Amino acid sequence: MSTKNTRPARAKKVLEALRTRYPHPHTHLDAETAWQLLVATVLAAQCTDARVNTVTPELFRRWPGPGEMAKAGIEEIETVIRPTGFYHSKAKNLLGAAVRVCDVYGGQVPKTLEELITLPGVARKTANVVLFGAFGINEGLAVDTHVKRISYRLGLTEETDPVPIERDLMKLFPREDWGDVNHRMVWFGREVCEARKPLCGQCEMAAFCPKLEPPKTPRPQRKKTATP
């Protein structure tokens, strides 16, 4: 593992490479409002953005804002979002978030991380995505599976959990770049640095990438039974 004092220099090279490859980064999720981005991000958990984008047009046609969704039946929501998986819990969270946005925040998606994470189904990652994507606020750096994998492979962190990873990355990248770092790493993770077969031959960072892989969690050992 690379020592921590080499990380700032490597992070600078990573940022330059990502900026060159993706000069105009943006989210893959289709949304026109802060509420729609929040909904789409919640639905994207354990689901591809492409599939979410096939579901949200009908979802937003029926319930374009939190006011409309707060009045919806949970079974109706489940029916529409079923293709995204985990639709029971997602529908419950979306309905709960809509009700809270209406009752507590006057129908407007809040603009602080502290308030956003009080909404059902919204943790730090989703809150960071909404803050940057809808309001241009860099409060944190969203750590999804792509960011987690790439930042470890590049030796930018030794952590394997999202919150500690976020803290490490926030120290390495300028605050004004946090939101775009997420977008760029997502694109890079899908097109080049794939989970199983990274295309190192096409990667401009191959020369300084340590190609690290996070430790696999050992399986719990079975207790040996005495031989009769």
Residues assigned a catalytic role: 125, 144
Tokens at residue 121, please? 């189904």
Residues 6 or more apart whose CB falls under 8 angstroms from that of 168 comprise 7, 151, 156, 157, 159
159, 141 contact by CB (below 8 A)? no
Q: Report which of 111, 113, 110, 109 is spatially closest to residue 140, judged by C-alpha positions.
A: 113
Q: How buried is residue 84: exposed, middle or buried, by Cβ count under 10 Å (0-12/13-18/19+)?
A: buried
Alpha-helical (H) ranges within 154-216 are: 162-172, 178-191
Give the Cα separation of 125 and 209 in Å (integer). Answer: 25
The H or E element containing residue 51 is helix 49-62
